[in-house]
Structure 1
Amino acid sequence: MAETKKLKTREQIDQKYKWKVEKIYENIDAWEEDFKRLKDMAPELTSYSGKLMEGKELLNYMKLDEEVSRLAGKLAVYAHLKNDEDTANPTYQALRDKIYSYFAELKSMQSFFIPELLSIPEEAIRKEIEKLPELKIYSFFIEDILKMKPHVLTREKEELIAAVSDCLQAPDKIYSMLSDAEMTFPVIKDENNNDVELTEANYGGFIQSRDRRVRKDAFQGLFKTYNKFNNTLGASLTSSIKNFVFISKTRNYSSALEASLKPNNIPLEVYDNTINTVNNNLSSLHRYVKVKKKLLGLEEIHMYDLYVPIIESPVEHIEFDEAVKVVKEGLKPLGDEYINIFEEGIREGWIDIYPNKGKRGGAYSSGDYDTMPYVLLNYDYKLRDASTLAHEMGHSIHSYYSRKTQPYIYADYSLFVAEVASTTNENLLIDYLIEKEQDRNKKLYLINQQLEQIRTTVFRQVMFAEFEKITHENIEKGVPLTSKDLSNIWHDLNVKYFGPEMVVDNEIDIEWARIPHFYRDFYVYQYATGYAAANSFAKEILKNGEKAVELYKGFLKSGSSDYPINVLKRAGVDMTTPKPLEDTINRFNELLDMLEG
């Protein structure tokens, strides 16, 4: 019998495959020294309370706040990276908890700043900025705060909202507790007729099974379980929406949607355009369902057939060095400078490559202004791992450019554009792989991968966004929504989106109850807009070469020096128009042509 392959411990992994966290701090003693320095320095922030009307004092506060925040950021990155290397290590658990707990104190010390700034007449602040040239760098930052004035309440009301914030989070906590901890799913038979307990974790594998009986059993088992709790889950979600509507009204917004979009200066028509553009092009998704039904050889296509790949995943084993070469080839259109930064990241120890016992799962990009933009991987020799490398390095190189170009105050980029650079990399890579692949089955597999990415990131997320819009508008009008109402809305959306070929099984009606993002109001549409912007960038880069690359690098360097819509527009992508989404749907149609060709 073959010996079971055990996961290596952290010590057994070769140093060259680990990120170089020691470049932040050599050891814990150095970290502790800086932590003490932070604790000594931070309380000085409160000494500026009542003095911000004077330009010089405002400038001194901004400089001190930057010094404090940069030091806190550096301490936090080191602690969380070391903790993620081995989550069972109590030393680094304690270190991470120490700095994270201190953030609450820090926030309290900084809490006077915005209310005090808003209490000063706007013209008085602008005069101080004119008088003191050093303050000019903060103009956009300060103006952004000033425009929120109509939505910031009196100190007493702000304190009241802060005091009940934990209560307002209750629906999300109840939902998480129910779905993550208390809900148990039935035992089903796998492909080999073995009994397996269904879980949220293994459902993704079962729903992609080539054995139709397995995916149907998993689908019914999962959603019938959710349906047993439909009243509780309905009450939980509608309570969450009511809370958000209450806060938006209290803060003098015209709607919950405005409360979500206005802080980032995103016009409301961006949300409406996204839904309308996809609705106007649903025939493409209907065609995809029809093609999938035909290629799978089904008489009827059901909701549980959606995730099964048309072509079986090819057997593959890609060494990390080979993945690096493949990704570099895919990203070649971005030019030598971009590839050199990518190589620097590999060479200088940005990346923690392989899994080890206790290491955090998944993948991410992390870092701060005074650290490298680190990448966590759990590399498993599959093509998807090469794609993950491209994706996470997209985030990290975006951060690299932004931090090298922008002052600290504008170095972070908005959530609205957070996935654009990473998805641009993924699109360039898969375009390259499809283009060069000679094996027909492997090519079809890659085409299907990109089709599924567009289906799930654009069509599916926009359906989610439309559900959010309908439910929030109903509650804003005072229309009560039961779990049955929510299920009816969800059913109708599925019928509309998937078209006449799809059998919309009744079990799917409760799927709204499984989406945790609905507790983060009007968040999901950004997956679709981010993908559309990335697709536009990739298309322009492949078509127009260096000219398009320079515009794209301008986007990467912008950070939050302007509102995200403006940053994208300057780089040639106008999200206030339907064009980026239409271009994405055109790509979807091209891929369908390849699939049928």
Structure 2
Amino acid sequence: MTKKRYEIPMEDTWKLEDMVADRETWEQLYKEAVKEAERYEEFKGKLAESADVLYEALKFDDTFSEKIERLYVYARMRSDEDTADQEYQDMFSRAQSLSFRAGELSAFMIPEILGMPDGQLALYCRSENGISHYRRLLEQLAKRKAHTLSHEMEGLLARSKEATQGGAQIFRMFNNADVRFPSITGSDGRELPVTHGSFISLMENPERKIRKSAFESLYGVYKQYSNTLAAAFAANVKQAVFYARARKYDSSRSYYLNSNEVPEEVYDRLTASVRKGLPKLHRYISLRKRLLKTDDLHMYDLYVPLVAEADRPFSFQEAKEMVKEGLAPLGEEYRALLKKGFDGRWIDVYENEGKRSGAYSWGVYGCHPYVLLNFQGTLKDVFTLAHEMGHAIHTWYSNEAQPYTYAGYRIFVAEVASTCNEALLIRHLLETSKDRKERAYLLNHFLESFRTTLFRQTMFAEFEQKAHEMEAAGESLTARSLCGIYAQLNRDYFGPDMEVDEEIGYEWERIPHFYTPFYVYQYATGFSAAIAISRRIMAGEPGTLKGYRSFLGGGCSMEPVELLKLCGVDMSESGPVDEALEFFGELLDEFERCMREETGV
């Protein structure tokens, strides 16, 4: 049975008191913020009066945003501990509403700033009152001039934000608080619970009957609610298309990528390169079918380790030691930060009833970052720990090196540090492995990282782009149409040796990141960049580690593509993705040799 929250030992939970001392402190901060929000009115219509007024307005906006962020993040993270807890739901709802209110009250700022003559704004930026701190911010705003509306329209769009979050909110409550999956029966006759946290472990079970039962249990429920979830997803796509059109962008993809300063060509090069690399994935799928010695390979056969004898459970203590050893090439300072996080209760370790599924790293400026896990003791969970601590330490470096204004790095680079950690860990384990079976197992795991990140996330990106294009063209996003698109993509990606089960057509319904439009492709680009960076670090290429440290501390002080160039990686070209696909082929060659020696297959 899944434990209740109060049954989890305190040392295995995160210490959110470091962010906000207690509920009473949060309420006091909330009351202060409600009053302070009205201060925006003091600056309305006056930003062009002088450099001093503009500077004071920008400084207030920074300070107030930091406070709102603390209220919002704390409430959301408390709610994630137990998504059925009504008190924390209320706190999060109030913080979210206040955030939307602040957006409404501050909506005048960008139009007023962009309404100034270029010469006037440039003159203000040369002032010695401190406004030069905001030069990059103002340069970024200037790029949005053609997409900025009148004061009244900006205010209307800001007021509409809360009303358009319904699709995402419905999905979040259904997926985390309400949905339940039928338990299945293990080989010993005992009941096995199917949860978000246990699902992948069940998919890795060597007994095919258990995998199939868990697969049908989970997707049978999503099938039952497919119309509801299609409506929620469609609502989220509609709001994305609406805001893109309102701001005069050619598409919702253009809107979201431009917001992150990423050229659209990066997206197109990714999907084109991965499509060209699909024969390598088909070859891996064919090998999986042969090694499992089955006449028909199903979607529920994708996660089971092909070298099951090498698999074993890991304690959380073992996981921490493996991560520290694997990341030694990043230097002693990095390892010291890992230890600080492990010992300082940055991490919420185990699953409990009602806890948000999956894993993430989050936090606020002025406090150490946090990590949420649902640790089950698999090797995948060890890599998840390395991954999320990559996010956390990236945040730590950015917060240390940058002021609040520029500390928050763009989503495009967010997955680089995390995936680089995974790549370094797997390389360390491969290099130190003396056992042939263990090495084969690790190669299999690395190949799976490519499959689930580079290939699968690109498939997600294709699905998402198609859905947004359909909505923009006025086509209906129904459960049938969405499941049809998703099933066909699975056929394309996994090739002729894969039986594309009906249930997999419903998989899109359980992907939380689809409610953050055009996010998923960045897992694939980040993975490609991380493979390139980790290879340079392991090879000891001069300047790579120094450049990587500069990247980690860069925040959003530079455009994300330019930040990656500090590490010698240029994502504006197809090179890093092609390099990753070539490396996948090399790993596949070695894995085939290992398995031929081991099994003769």
Specify the TM-score bucket, using the shorter chain as the normaliser.
0.7 to 0.9
Residue 51 of structure 1 is aligned with which of 42, 46, 52? 46
Q: Residue 429 and residue 473 in structure 1: after superposition, are their counterparts in 2 closer, same or farther (change >3 A)?
A: same
Shift of 1:31: 6.5
1:535 paired residue number: 531
Give the Cα–Cα distance (whole angstroms) in 2 for the partners of residues 373 and 487 of structure 1: 37
Give the Cα–Cα distance (whole angstroms) in 1 for the partners of residues 164 and 97 of structure 2: 21
Residue 131 of structure 2 is aligned with which of 135, 141, 144? 135
Contact 1:38/1:71 (8 A) holds in 2: yes
Give the Cα–Cα distance (whole angstroms) in 2 for the partners of residues 407 and 582 of structure 1: 36
1:275 paired residue number: 271
Contact 2:105/2:155 (8 A) holds in 1: no
Shift of 1:130: 2.2
Shift of 1:412: 0.9
1:351 correspondence with 2:353: no
2:148 paired residue number: 152
Matched residue SS, 2:126: helix
> Number of residues paired by the alignment?
590
Q: Residue 225 and residue 409 in structure 1: after superposition, are their counterparts in 2 closer, same or farther (change >3 A)?
A: closer
CA-to-aligned-CA distance 1:115-136 (integer Å, 9 cap, x gap): 3223323332122112446212
Segments of 5+ residues of structure 2 without an aligned counterpart are 594-601
2:287 paired residue number: 291
Q: Residue type matched to 1:390 in 2? A: A
Q: Residue 278 and residue 98 in structure 1: after superposition, are their counterparts in 2 closer, same or farther (change >3 A)?
A: closer
Q: Residue type matched to 2:550 in 1? A: G
Matched residue SS, 2:543: helix
Shift of 1:414: 0.9
Q: Residue type matched to 1:315 in 2? A: R
Contact 1:354/1:380 (8 A) holds in 2: no
Which moved further from structure 2: 414-423 or 355-364? 355-364
Contact 1:350/1:373 (8 A) holds in 2: no
Q: Residue type matched to 1:258 in 2? A: S
Give the Cα–Cα distance (whole angstroms) in 2 for the partners of residues 176 and 25 of structure 1: 24
Shift of 1:525: 0.8
2:311 paired residue number: 314
Residue 335 of structure 1 is aligned with which of 328, 331, 337? 331
Shift of 1:489: 3.0
Q: Residue type matched to 1:48 in 2? A: F
Matched residue SS, 1:365: strand
Q: Residue type matched to 1:292 in 2? A: R
2:565 paired residue number: 569
Shift of 1:174: 5.6
TM-score by length of 1: 0.85
Which moved further from structure 2: 104-113 or 187-196? 187-196
Q: Residue 67 and residue 226 in structure 1: after superposition, are their counterparts in 2 closer, same or farther (change >3 A)?
A: closer
Which moved further from structure 2: 539-548 or 288-297? 539-548
CA-to-aligned-CA distance 1:390-445 (integer Å, 9 cap, x gap): 22321222112111211221011111111211111121112111221223333322
Q: Residue type matched to 1:141 in 2? A: L
Contact 1:333/1:545 (8 A) holds in 2: no
Residue 59 of structure 2 is aligned with which of 60, 63, 67? 63
Give the Cα–Cα distance (whole angstroms) in 1 for the partners of residues 72 and 303 of structure 2: 39
Give the Cα–Cα distance (whole angstroms) in 2 for the partners of residues 148 and 139 of structure 1: 15
Shift of 1:206: 3.8
Residue 108 of structure 2 is aligned with which of 112, 133, 146? 112
Q: Residue 470 and residue 385 in structure 1: after superposition, are their counterparts in 2 closer, same or farther (change >3 A)?
A: closer
Give the Cα–Cα distance (whole angstroms) in 1 for the partners of residues 570 and 523 of structure 2: 16
Which moved further from structure 2: 491-500 or 459-468? 491-500
Shift of 1:23: 5.4
1:405 correspondence with 2:416: no
1:499 paired residue number: 495
Q: Residue 566 and residue 246 in structure 1: after superposition, are their counterparts in 2 closer, same or farther (change >3 A)?
A: same
Q: Residue 146 and residue 494 in structure 1: after superposition, are their counterparts in 2 closer, same or farther (change >3 A)?
A: same
Contact 1:350/1:375 (8 A) holds in 2: no
Q: Residue type matched to 2:516 in 1? A: R
Which moved further from structure 2: 136-145 or 505-514? 505-514
Matched residue SS, 2:463: helix
Matched residue SS, 1:254: coil
Segments of 5+ residues of structure 1 without an aligned counterpart are none
1:560 paired residue number: 556
Q: Residue type matched to 1:528 in 2? A: A
Contact 1:231/1:483 (8 A) holds in 2: yes
Shift of 1:380: 6.0
Matched residue SS, 2:408: coil
Give the Cα–Cα distance (whole angstroms) in 2 for the partners of residues 490 and 87 of structure 1: 29
1:428 correspondence with 2:432: no
Which moved further from structure 2: 371-380 or 335-344? 371-380
Which moved further from structure 2: 118-127 or 290-299? 118-127
TM-score by length of 2: 0.85
The root-mean-square deviation of aligned C-alpha atoms, in Å, is 3.8
Give the Cα–Cα distance (whole angstroms) in 1 for the partners of residues 239 and 436 of structure 2: 52
Contact 2:167/2:233 (8 A) holds in 1: yes
Q: Residue type matched to 2:312 in 1? A: V
Q: How does 1:6-17 map to 2 (within 5 A)?
A: 9=6, 13=10
CA-to-aligned-CA distance 1:516-551 (integer Å, 9 cap, x gap): 443433221111112112112111111134521011
Q: Residue 88 and residue 305 in structure 1: after superposition, are their counterparts in 2 closer, same or farther (change >3 A)?
A: closer
Q: Residue 191 and residue 155 in structure 1: after superposition, are their counterparts in 2 closer, same or farther (change >3 A)?
A: farther
Give the Cα–Cα distance (whole angstroms) in 2 for the partners of residues 261 and 437 of structure 1: 41
Give the Cα–Cα distance (whole angstroms) in 1 for the partners of residues 352 and 538 of structure 2: 41
1:208 correspondence with 2:204: yes
Contact 2:2/2:351 (8 A) holds in 1: no
Contact 1:56/1:132 (8 A) holds in 2: no
CA-to-aligned-CA distance 1:307-342 (integer Å, 9 cap, x gap): 22212263344462x544332221111123323333
Contact 2:532/2:569 (8 A) holds in 1: yes
Matched residue SS, 2:327: helix
